Amino acid sequence: MRKIKIHKPDDWHLHLRDGDLLKLVLPHTVKDFGRALIMPNLVPPVITTSDAESYRREIMDALDKDIDFQPFMTLYLTEDTDPRDVEDGIAKGVVKAVKLYPAGATTNSSSGVRDFSKINETLAILSTNNVPLCVHGEVVDGHVDIFDRETEFIQRVLIPIHKDFPELKIVLEHITTQDAIDFVLNTPDNIAATITVHHLVINRNHLFKSGIRPHYFCLPIAKREVHRQSLVKAATSGNANFFLGTDSAPHTIGTKESACGCAGIFTAPVAMAILAHVFENEDALDKLEGFTSLSGAEFYGVAPNQSFLTLRKEKAPIKFPASIAENELEVSIFDPEFDLNWKVID
Ligand code: DOR
Ligand code: ZN
């Protein structure tokens, strides 16, 4: 197959940042994606419905007027979140999901949750309203090996939450392990997972190939090759409980190439080209549309996008730039280290 036409994809996990960085990265998502679930870990975070309304306005103002793109907003859950405000945000149609960051788990997560018993009232509201809880699934204890943090979180936090709120829709975000896949496979359909582009193509060796590679550092950290292979199988299986959330997370080059480099990989410009490559390799191009454009929409209760995206396989590799830049800001684009021949043509 040299050409494939699919409903326009949605990105169910995206970091757009704010200010000048937002303006720099936004065009790279809206060219291929009709909608995206926008992560709330700004500084300061998007905690209230009013914060989400202002952030949504900033995104809409940064968009070219002729672009058809819809940001879906999330709230950053804290121990002090007012459940009434969450309820209002849902009723107003502002809040599409609530994001749970364990405090200290990742970028700008210090206002996240330490004591999970403090969020029960909000979880009850989400459950009643059929609104998903999106979860960064890693424990933060220093004594737990960084490669085991997802598995430990599932056992220690996620299974108890699911037991207490069996009807609650949960999205285990950016999964990286066989354990996370098994959790989704062994729970009802109100439990789903997003899979990123980068976790489909890198394993933990990429982080240390001939030196330390900060541009492959993200959280959850990439795991062993067997886990990567399992993620590819899950993504290309056609199981609707696995869908795309790129976790495209731009940081400036200076903040990544540092003694304490930030976690996050910017994949938006190459996401669809890489996915077509991965799905073609698995002989599963017929499953690409489900993964990128149908399953997530169904989980979040929205119709697929009305518009379409066409990708074509070119004879010569597509040349993507190594970075994008504007004034002082420069962000590296994820390099999968293999040729990309699939091009979005329409
Ligand atoms: O690698 C990551 N980057 N993982 C996250 O959970 C957050 C993200 C970011 O905001 O940079
Ligand atoms: Zn993220």
pLDDT tens digits, 156-193: 999 999 999 999 999 999 999 999 999 999 999 999 99
The rounded Cα 312 to chain-centroid distance in angstroms is: 25
Distance CA 270, CA 52 (A): 28
Closest Cα partner for 342 from 315, 309, 323?
A: 315
Q: Ligand 2 mean position to 238 CA, how many Å?
A: 23
State CA 316 to chain mean position distance. 30
Which of 25, 101, 218 is the best mutation target for the ligand 1 pocket, counting ligand atoms within 8 Å of the beta carbon and taking the most? 218
CA-proximal residue: ligand 1, atom 7 (nearest)? 107
The closest ligand to the CA of 42 turns out to be: 1
| pLDDT 10s digits, 137-155 | 999 998 999 999 999 999 9
Query: Could you tell me the pLDDT band of residue 105, with boundaries at 50, 70 and 90?
Result: confident
Rounded Cα gap, residues 121 and 336, in angstroms: 42
* Confidence (pLDDT) at 169: 98
* pLDDT confidence of residue 106: 85
Residue nearest to atom 10 of ligand 1 (CA): 107
Q: From residue 201, how far is each of 73, 228, 306, 334 by CA, in Å?
A: 28, 7, 30, 11
In the chain, the largest separation of any two C-alpha atoms, in whole Å, equals: 56
Q: How far is the CA of 167 from the centre of ligand 2 (A)?
A: 24
CA 37 to centroid of ligand 1, rounded, Å: 14
pLDDT of residue 287: 98
pLDDT per residue over 267-325, tens digit each? 999 999 999 999 999 999 999 999 999 999 999 999 999 999 999 999 999 999 999 99
Cα–ligand 1 centroid distance for 2 (angstroms): 34
Residue 1 pLDDT grade (very low, low, confident, very high; cuts 50, 70, 90): low
For residues 228 and 203, what is the distance between their CA atoms, to the nearest angstrom? 6
User: What percentage of the chain reaches a pLDDT higher than 90?
Assistant: 97
Q: What mean pLDDT value characterizes the chain? A: 97
Whether pLDDT at 196 is above 80: yes
Instruction: Please state, in angstroms and as integers, the Cα–Cα distance from residue 77 to each residue in 19, 191, 330, following that order.
Output: 22, 19, 30
What's the token pair of residue 131? 């609104």
* pLDDT tens digits, 254-279: 999 999 999 999 999 999 999 999 99
Cα 3 to middle of ligand 1, angstroms: 33
Distance CA 142, CA 101 (A): 16
The owner of tokens 């050409």 is: 3
Global pTM? 0.98
Instruction: From 213, 219, 255, 334, give the residue whose CB has the most ligand 1 atoms within 8 Å, as the site to mutate.
Output: 219
User: Sign of the C-alpha dihedral, residues 149, 83, 81, 302?
Assistant: positive
- CA gap 186, 322 in Å, rounded: 40
Mean pLDDT along residues 7-20: 98
Provide the pLDDT confidence category of residue 35 given band limits of 50, 70 and 90.
very high
Q: For residues 335 and 318, give the distance between their C-alpha atoms in angstroms, rounded to a whole number.
A: 12
Mutate to test the pocket of ligand 1, among 37, 42, 46, 107 (most ligand atoms within 8 A of CB): 107
Establish whether 247 is a catalytic residue. yes
Q: Residues 247, 286, 339, 346: which is the catalytic one? A: 247
pLDDT band, residue 107 (cuts 50/70/90) = confident
Average pLDDT over residues 96-114: 93
- The pairing of strands 35-38 and 70-76 is parallel
Q: What's the pLDDT tens digit per position in 66-83?
A: 999 999 999 999 999 999
Nearest residue to 314 via CA among 268, 269, 271, 280: 280
Pocket of ligand 1 from Cβ distances under 6 Å: 15, 41, 106-107, 136, 218-219, 247, 249, 263-264
Please give the Cα distance from 234 to 282 (Å, whole number): 11
Give the whole-angstrom CA distance, residue 71 versus residue 26: 11
